[in-house]
Amino acid sequence: MDTQTQTELEAAAFRTLVAHLRERKDVQNLDLMNLAGFCRNCLSKWYLAAAEERGIDMDYGQAREIVYGMPYAEWKDKYQK
């Protein structure tokens, strides 16, 4: 498999994971951390780190909004138990 195809597949898998996490608002970050060792915040930090490695200007709040699909404070008010 060539590098471009691998990157495209990885990007598609990431988009699917983010969409799944956005759908499963009932699953709390603590549950994810306990079961999988990562949560939405971890994913946001990894996204931010990737942006920073490429010189893209982004902050943690922006990265969180990409993962959560809304500002974190709004998600927290609506869905965090």
Q: From start to end of the chain, where are the E strands?
A: none
Task: Say which DSSP state 70 is in.
Answer: S
- Write down the pTM of the prediction: 0.89
The parts of the chain modelled with pLDDT lower than 50 are none
* Average pLDDT in the chain: 96
Residue 81: its pLDDT value, please?
86
Instruction: For the domain covering 3-79, report its CATH number.
Output: 1.10.3340.10
Residue 59: its pLDDT value, please?
97
- What is the identity of the amino acid at 27? V
Residue 76: its pLDDT value, please?
95
Sign of CA dihedral 50, 62, 56, 5: positive
For the chain, domain boundaries: 3-79
- The answer to whether 26 and 42 are in contact (CB under 8 A) is no
CA dihedral 77, 27, 65, 8 (to 10 degrees): -170
